[in-house]
Structure 1
């Protein structure tokens, strides 16, 4: 069995470590932060009223069977995970004041019919038949299999039905315009491009698999917060004998000849191993840990980032669901701002609010709001400039007030997190949530899991098969399987 060094104790790193340890490998994890979890972050604020707890990363748990398989494969179920099914999955508030609550399964089309009329529901059902084909093709050929080059996807050309489903050259926006007549449904579909940090006008149509995974199979909240997944993974790693060093940054990948031979820690200590797994943004790997200018240049187009308000709110807000999204009048203006040159924060952004009805998240008589706005990454825009973050926080609260939810006189506190803060916390360049933006046909080709040198592997949301908790855990399975087959 091999000795393995894992860089990063995010979900991808911990999941890979658990799988490899269960297979008999000796695994050591180095994490630069003081806590495990990576982008599955948590924030706690203690006040006179009590303690507020926030998830600062993913807010929806989908495809739980992926986690179930991971824990079963590494020693048994994870009783720490307490799943709470969400209905609605998301409450959508449109510019004209209409509301649409999404849910899993065929019932969503019925809700569309009730809210927008029978023709809109008919359009959605037609799109959904297409989405099922996209999902089936994506699951079989992309999400659960290694994709190291365009040749892998080119193989779909021999399966004409699969190729037609993926629709190379078509965008998610184009797919919506072709199938959906109601502009509100088009807006709803466009939002799923942001799940990969992309502009829907440039995102590949195959990203239709993302809403299908959520709206066909459902979504859950983990009681106690989604950060409990990181706790469960860390506990599983400990039970399997994985050594995890927190607060221990890795400065570079140690290379001997043409293979990865370990890592060099901050301060210069070399730690040798047979294999290295990097659970870090691919640009950070190829720009900083293993400088590869050509690979780094190909990753320069950063995905969008997130501007976050963490709010302690007095009282209750009945018009909110667990997740509520407030759309702007001009959705395109948001993407023009974020991906423009120069980039800038949207003046009238989409605002996404998460407010969990979980006593563990907030004191009685209060709400804990996680407010997310799509934003340009650090570097494209300077979030560290004096007054910028606080000024934009004021703007976001004013936008919410204009859309009918004014909580400015009910705030107990507000904490602000910008893309610059995510960059600092996770070493993710620019604080770009999803690494490289998924634009064009290459949007389906995330950086491969096999690294630039032998015995180096990459795992996590910035590499194949993509971002989001289930895909990151699938990434870990792909890496562990490749190592096991070597």
Structure 2
């Protein structure tokens, strides 16, 4: 059995560590932060009324079977550690004209809701798109999500049937797919939003991302009682029970890889190297190939056009009546993407979007807020932190506070005014996410975009990449699947 070092205790790193330890490997996890979970962050704000608990990362769990498989592979049962609560609606969509549409995990039921809200033609259009999405999902799940993919040639040689290729529509964008199938502009908005799940602009994102709404709406959206952060607690518990050594506050500064294979890692402030036969990097691919194992050729394929997020954590008195998730769409969605991504080629700089889509999470969970109050997580798409034309310097004095005011004004204009019911507000900018998790520029889903992400197998023997910026992508189920791929590949290497 191998000596394994995992760099980073995000969900992908902890899941890989647990799987490897369950098969007998000697595993040590080094995490630069003082807590585990990575972007699955948590924050507590104490008030005289009581504590408010916030998930500062993901607020929705999808594809629960992925997590069932993970826990069973490590000798446990998911329901022994986590309390899953199904959501209906999964998301309430509030469109610019005031129309609302609640999504759910019943395809026929959702089509009926579309018909009631948007008309019979819109429902028929959605059902036609849904059939196509089902084919894309089946092909992706069978040939991509559970196996390593390291190059375009790997994708080209997968055993897709002609019907699958037609559904996947190579070369077409998600926006183009929406325009082709959906006549109602509100349904197009709904579809466009799923590109942002991967950190992408729907006008450039591949049409194959139609599999994302299929996965959410076919298999359901779930909340974890006590908050999504309880998933990090559960994974840490599994790791410790299996003998994994987890060290927080331990930053890896370099991977030793002389002679074309890994030999160990170097820790900040520690003179002696830590030996390892295998290193699993649960960090952004940019960090890996720029800092830990400099590889200029690997850096060339990484994008700097991935979304970040601007977040408000609000303590609100009283009850709003909002469901768990609500998205308030702007009148001009393209103006938001123009602002967030900019266009460096034409000299157009990224900037805070003045009228963005606003995503509000309000958990109906007494474990996360005092009686008579609500804990609001408010998210808007934002440019990554930086000083280039495609970024925003979120540390510029006064910017974050002014933009927070703007977001509250936007919510008020869309019918949800909480400005006179705030106990407190806290702000999290892309710069804060960069500092807290090492995500370059605060990129939520990693610096790698599109369908083809950096390969799980690194450029030297014994190096593996797991997590959101590697294959198969960002999001809780995807990084957990990346852990499965890596653990299986290490097992046969």
The normalised TM-score by structure 1 is: 0.98
- Cα deviation per residue 1:103-133 (whole Å; 9 max; x = unaligned)? 0122100000010111110000000000000
> What residue number does 2:103 align with?
102
The yes-or-no answer on 1:457 pairing with 2:464 is yes
Alignment of 1:157-176 (within 5 A): 159-176=161-178
Residue of structure 1 in register with 2:314 after alignment: 311
- Cα displacement (A) at 1:434: 1.0
Hey, what does 1:87 align to over in structure 2?
88
2:140 to 138, 147, 152: 138
3-state secondary structure, aligned to 1:57: coil
Q: CA deviation at 1:158?
A: 6.3
8 Å CA contact 1:196, 1:437 repeated in 2: no
- Of 221, 233, 245, which aligns to 1:231? 233
Query: How much is the aligned-residue C-alpha RMSD, in angstroms?
Result: 1.0
Q: Is the 8 A contact 1:156 1:162 kept in 2?
A: no
Which residue does the alignment assign to 2:297? 294
Q: CA deviation at 1:156?
A: 4.0
Measure, in 1, the Cα distance between the counterparts of 2:161 and 2:224. Answer: 39
- Contact 2:284-2:447 at 8 Å conserved across structures: no
2:9 maps to: 9
Contact 2:139–2:160 at 8 Å: present in 1 too? no
The one of 470, 475, 481 aligned to 2:482:
475
Q: Tell me if the contact between 2:305 and 2:341 (Cα under 8 Å) persists in the aligned partners.
A: no
1:436 to 447, 452, 456: 447
2:81 & 2:491 partners in 1: Cα distance? 28
Contact 2:448 2:470 in 1 (8 A): no
Deviation at 1:294? 2.1
Checking the alignment, whether the CA contact within 8 Å between 1:304 and 1:437 is kept in structure 2 is: no
Q: For the residues of structure 2 that align with 1:324 and 1:158, how far apart are their CA atoms? A: 36
User: 1:155 offset after TM fit, Å?
Assistant: 1.3
CA distance, structure 2, for counterparts of residue 417 and residue 297 of structure 1: 30
d(CA) in 2 for partners of 1:166 and 1:123? Answer: 18
Superposition deviation, residue 159 in structure 1? 2.9
Counterpart of 2:279 in structure 1 is 276
**8 Å contact from structure 2 (residues 303, 448) kept in 1:** no
Deviation at 1:437, TM superposition (A): 5.4
263-272 vs 36-45, greater mean Cα deviation: 263-272
TM-score when scaled to structure 2? 0.96
Counterpart Cα distance in 1 of 2:147 and 2:158: 13
The one of 437, 448, 452 equivalent to 2:455 is 448
Matching residue within 371, 389, 393 for 2:378: 371
Confirm whether residue 200 of structure 1 aligns to residue 207 of structure 2: no
How far the C-alpha of 1:278 sits from its partner, in A, is: 0.3
* Residue 254 (structure 1) shift: 1.2
Distance 1:75-1:158 versus aligned 2 partners, 3 A rule: closer
CA contact (8 A) 2:440 2:447 kept: no
Aligned mate of 1:398, from 409, 412, 421: 409
Unaligned runs of 5+ in 2: none
Which of these residues, 219, 242, 251, is aligned with residue 240 of structure 1?
242
Where has structure 1 moved over 2 Å in runs of 4 or more?
Answer: 156-159
Residues 1:400 and 1:269: Cα distance change in structure 2 (over 3 Å): farther
CA displacement at 1:256 relative to structure 2: 2.0
Gaps of 5+ in 1: none
Are the aligned partners of 1:42 and 1:54 in contact in 2 as well (CA < 8 Å)? yes
Q: Give the distance between the partners of 1:381 and 1:193, measured in 2 at CA.
A: 21
Partner SS, residue 14 of structure 1: helix
Q: How many residues of Structure 1 are paired with residues of Structure 2 in the alignment?
A: 481
After superposition, the Cα gap between the structure-2 partners of 1:351 and 1:451, relative to the gap in structure 1 and judged at 3 Å, is same
Instruction: Identify the residue that residue 217 of structure 1 maps to in structure 2.
Output: 219
Contact 1:199 1:335 in 2 (8 A): yes
Asked if 2 retains the 8 angstrom alpha-carbon contact of 1:450 and 1:458, the reply is yes
Q: Distance in 1 between matches of 2:214 and 2:440?
A: 30
Per-residue deviation at 1:301? 2.0
What's the secondary structure of 1:52's corresponding residue? strand
Distance in 1 (alpha carbons) for counterparts of 2:68 and 2:24:
20
